[in-house]
Chain A
Amino acid sequence: MPKKGVLDPQGKAIEHSLHALGFPEAHDVHLGKYVELSLDGVDAEQARQRTDEMCRKLLANGVIEDYHFELE
């Protein structure tokens, strides 16, 4: 997701459209990315560490984005 305070023109445009469609209560709209992936040969702790590393190195850009992940 875009970090708080970073310009988010896509979120703004979506918010305007929601207001125009009769959802005036919608605010703080932000558009992010959703990535799904499978892991082989790692236990839960390794999966957590490896996924965090993937996020830091490639999946998110720490300058403009925050990330969080869930393991199933």
Chain B
Amino acid sequence: MRWGVVTFPGSNDDHDALYAVDHVLGEEGVSLWHKDRDLKGVDCVILPGGFSYGDYLRCGAMARFSPVMESIIEFAHAGGLVWGVCNGFQVLCEAGLLPGALIRNRNLQFVCTTVRLRTEETDTPFTCRCTRGEVLTMPIKHGEGCYVADVVTLERLEQNHQIVLRYVDGSGRVTPEANPNGALNNIAGIVNEQRNVFGLMPHPEHATEKLLGGEDGLKLFQSVLATCTEGTHRRGTAVAPGH
């Protein structure tokens, strides 16, 4: 399977994502430069963490207009798998590929810690190898991770089962204390309605080896791999929600 990882000026988790794909997963990682329109035939695109274009104006606002994003928006509309981590999640929201926005953390501080995430949905290409309710442990490191959306959008996300991951406590409960940034409804990750675009603030690529503190993030990579290699996903025919 071919994975594309985009490098914007200011991306800093692109090589971690490539490492996870190449060395841990054993698949082919392809670097995509922000000025390139060619997606080089990849099956899934990862928008990595970092500070694209210095995060000037708003996080992800400038990256959204880079040449590579035009191709990625087309790719996503055709059903291609697009996965945004941290800054990548912010870019996807700015690009309108995911609803809502990510604003400054509630306590105004940059948070760098380990969080627990409850898997709310497993009928997505990104979490099909997890079990429903499974609690995953991953790191976060961001200043603008507070997910917000208007009431109608939030309601629709809940109804359509688009909320994939929520911040929870050690017992798997959604509590205000377990919420590291003030995100509405403890939202850590969402998919679009077609379920082929996924954004999350935590870093699965930093949780792929025991040496790095845990392997829970690998399950998301394995989910995408299974989706692409077992033929459950075809471009233009995104997996339908199975509720």
Contacts and interface: CB of A to CB of B under 8 A. Distances in A.
Contact of A13 (B65, B94, B108, B150): B108
Interface string B84-112: 00000000011000011101111110000
Interface of B: 57-58, 61, 65, 93-94, 99-101, 103-108, 146, 148-150, 182, 184
A58 B57 CA distance: 9
Interface in A1-46: 2, 5-7, 9-10, 13, 33
B101 A9 contact: no
Given A7-B146, A9-B146, A58-B57, A64 B65 contact: no
A6 B148 contact: yes
Given A7-B182, A64-B101, A59 B106 contact: no
Contact of B61 (A2, A6, A13, A61): A61
Given A61-B94, A64-B103, A9 B57 contact: no
A10 B182 contact: no
Contacts of A13: 108
Interface residues on A, range: 10 to 19
Nearest to A2: B103
A7 B103 contact: yes
A63 interface: yes
Question: Closest 3 interchain pairs by CB?
Answer: A63-B101, A64-B101, A9-B106
A61 B104 contact: no
Nearest to B100: A63
A44 B206 CA distance: 52
B24 to A, nearest CB: 35
8 contacts: A7-B103, A7-B184, A9-B105, A58-B65, A63-B99, A63-B100, A63-B150, A64-B148
Nearest to A13: B108
A64 B103 CA distance: 9
Contacts of A61: 58, 61, 94, 101
Given A9-B182, A61-B61, A64-B103, 19 more contacts: A6-B103, A6-B148, A7-B106, A7-B182, A7-B184, A9-B103, A9-B104, A9-B105, A9-B106, A9-B107, A9-B108, A10-B104, A33-B57, A58-B61, A61-B58, A61-B94, A61-B101, A63-B99, A64-B101
Contacts of B149: 63
The winner among A5, A58, A59, A63 for most chain B CB atoms within 10 A is A63
Contacts of B61: 58, 61
A1 to B, nearest CB: 13
A13 B99 CA distance: 27
B181 to A, nearest CB: 10
Contacts of B94: 61
A9 B57 CA distance: 17
Contacts of B108: 9-10, 13
